[in-house]
Structure 1
Amino acid sequence: MECLAEDLAFPEGPVVMADGSVIVVELLGGRVTRCWNGRTETVCETGGGPNGAAIGPDGALWICNNGGLLPGTERGPGRIERIDLATGRFERVYDSCDGVHLCGPNDLVFDDAGQLWFTDNGSDHEHHRMIGGLFAARADGSQITAINRRAISYNGIGLSPDQSHVYVADTSQARLYRYDNCVEAQQPHYIATGIGPSGFDSLAVTHGGNICIANVFGGGITTVTPDGQVSVLPIPEEYYVTNIAFGGEDMRDAYITLSGSGKLVRMRWEEPGLRLAFNG
């Protein structure tokens, strides 16, 4: 495992760029950072709590901003933001759906048609918890749809290789669910539960269709096959393993955020990852 950057303020949302750099968000720093094998540079200061990130069909970087602080804690209203990587300027694209404020947007992915899918993790308050859900939205800012508003703590999200399914990981339940790729309200299909003490965070899908999920509490990467078979690659002495993203010429470089220790690392994976619909 090779360390590419350290001393980051809870890094998340790695985006592998064509120029060899990796863009991450620093959730506790309220900023977006580009990493170049030991060197880092600030892309922009977003404030709040930037979390998941992805390149959109317009070539911009899109992020989920949960409003501040860690998932599972009380925080302000969240939003979906768009960042111009050439200038560092950012704008708010969505902060509500059907008149209801987004609570804690967490992770996002674009399909081939340019449709944005994102999760909302919800937030904890002193005497209650605000639940989140799964949403779909157009990249031009014209429409947002609630697919499911009754999720406990949705986090990671990804698409199957044929894009017929949307996968979501629930942190508190350590469960993986599947939705159909259609923009309408629907109930999830259960796939699998994590092994032992675990909590599911962000995920990435392999070329062969397996779902690799960062195990935020158990320390490692959980791999789930589409039919629900589960295996775990432990990462010793790491508590907050939060994200995995694939890159490299053969797509077998796995970029993993070790948020508790503030590191972005790279390791070779046993199978190639799935190329995302859009790249930087």
Structure 2
Amino acid sequence: DGSVIVVEIEKKCVTRCWGDGKTEIIAHTGGGPNGLAIGPDGALWVCNNGGFIYTEMDGLLIPGNCPDDYDGGRIERIDLSTGKVERVLDTVDGHKLKGPNDLVFDKAGNLYFTDHGKTYSRHRDFGGLFFLARGASEAKELDFHYTSPNGVGLSPDEQTVYMADTLTGRMWAFDLESPGVIKPASPFNGGRVVATMPGLQY
């Protein structure tokens, strides 16, 4: 119908927008809805980062530390016909998700997603790259201990997963042996840096 669906992180909702300026809230998720995509089941899949404390600077809201009402990050599924929000996933390998950020489906319907981690007043939880096979109820960690995993995407042949690490200004690439299986790389990182910015720009 020509509409576009967006997340409004600070308002904690998912909104449909039309070209004539009309908007409609599809669902109130709470937390901080971040990346979203339409899944193979026709539903909206959402990375919910759990929310932020915001600071206003020059008319912009800048996300910062973890809010007092934070109850963890999660992957959610929204039924587009009803707006019902379902929590699909909030732990991986026994570890709670901190701040899921972005997601991408491959052609088979498997899901790759990033967790940005979470910032507190005196420390920061690291993030990583994760995989949920289509139809599975449990995800697995592909690689971890990155400063701030953000956007994620697949190469056209789906043989490589790309991940942006915001605060370090780096783009990582992870070569795949098969869906959800990374080829052996450096003993310290599962991927390789394919782009970086001078002076830690991002």
Q: Give TM-score, length-normalised by structure 2.
A: 0.84
Q: Are 1:165 and 2:160 matched, yes or no?
A: yes
Query: Among the aligned pairs, what percent are the same residue?
Result: 53
Instruction: State whether residues 168 and 200 of structure 2, in contact with CA within 8 Å, keep that contact through their aligned partners in structure 1.
Output: no
Runs of 4+ in 1 over 6 A off after TM superposition: none
Partner of 2:56: none
Partner of 1:88: 83
Task: Select 2:15's aligned residue among 20, 33, 56.
Answer: 33
C-alpha deviation, 1:20, in angstroms: 1.0
Task: Select 1:177's aligned residue among 168, 172, 194.
Answer: 172
Instruction: State whether residues 137 and 145 of structure 1, in contact with CA within 8 Å, keep that contact through their aligned partners in structure 2.
Output: yes
Q: Helix, strand or coil: the match of 1:172? A: coil
Q: Are 1:74 and 2:66 matched, yes or no?
A: yes
Matched AA of 1:193: T
Partner of 1:50: 33
Q: Are 1:65 and 2:48 matched, yes or no?
A: yes
Partner of 1:233: none
C-alpha deviation, 1:195, in angstroms: 5.4
CA displacement 1:136-168 (0-9 Å, x = unmatched): 012434220101121110000111111111100
Partner of 2:195: 192
C-alpha deviation, 1:87, in angstroms: 0.8
Q: Which runs of 5+ in 1 are unaligned?
A: 1-18, 200-280
Instruction: State whether residues 80 and 94 of structure 1, in contact with CA within 8 Å, keep that contact through their aligned partners in structure 2.
Output: yes
Q: Distance in 1 between matches of 2:143 and 2:45?
A: 21
Partner of 2:59: none
Instruction: State whether residues 124 and 130 of structure 1, in contact with CA within 8 Å, keep that contact through their aligned partners in structure 2.
Output: yes
Closer/same/farther in 2, CA of residues 139 and 73 from structure 1, 3 Å limit: farther
CA displacement 1:43-78 (0-9 Å, x = unmatched): 011111000000111010000001112655225310
Matched AA of 2:50: G
Closer/same/farther in 2, CA of residues 50 and 96 from structure 1, 3 Å limit: same
Q: Are 1:21 and 2:24 matched, yes or no?
A: no
Task: Select 1:129's aligned residue among 124, 129, 133.
Answer: 124
C-alpha deviation, 1:184, in angstroms: 3.5
Q: Distance in 2 between matches of 1:144 and 1:22?
A: 29
Matched AA of 1:174: G
Instruction: State whether residues 145 and 184 of structure 1, in contact with CA within 8 Å, keep that contact through their aligned partners in structure 2.
Output: no
C-alpha deviation, 1:197, in angstroms: 6.3
Instruction: State whether residues 49 and 66 of structure 1, in contact with CA within 8 Å, keep that contact through their aligned partners in structure 2.
Output: yes
Q: Which runs of 5+ in 2 are unaligned?
A: 54-62, 185-189
Q: Are 1:146 and 2:141 matched, yes or no?
A: yes
Instruction: State whether residues 72 and 123 of structure 1, in contact with CA within 8 Å, keep that contact through their aligned partners in structure 2.
Output: no
Matched AA of 1:190: V
Partner of 1:223: none
Q: Helix, strand or coil: the match of 1:93? A: strand
Closer/same/farther in 2, CA of residues 97 and 162 from structure 1, 3 Å limit: same
Q: Distance in 2 between matches of 1:139 and 1:90?
A: 19
Q: Give TM-score, length-normalised by structure 1.
A: 0.62
Instruction: State whether residues 33 and 48 of structure 2, in contact with CA within 8 Å, keep that contact through their aligned partners in structure 1.
Output: yes
CA displacement 1:159-202 (0-9 Å, x = unmatched): 11111111000010111010123424660111011356632xxx
Instruction: State whether residues 93 and 141 of structure 1, in contact with CA within 8 Å, keep that contact through their aligned partners in structure 2.
Output: no
Q: Distance in 2 between matches of 1:63 and 1:195?
A: 32
Q: Distance in 2 between matches of 1:107 and 1:156?
A: 5
Instruction: State whether residues 49 and 65 of structure 1, in contact with CA within 8 Å, keep that contact through their aligned partners in structure 2.
Output: yes
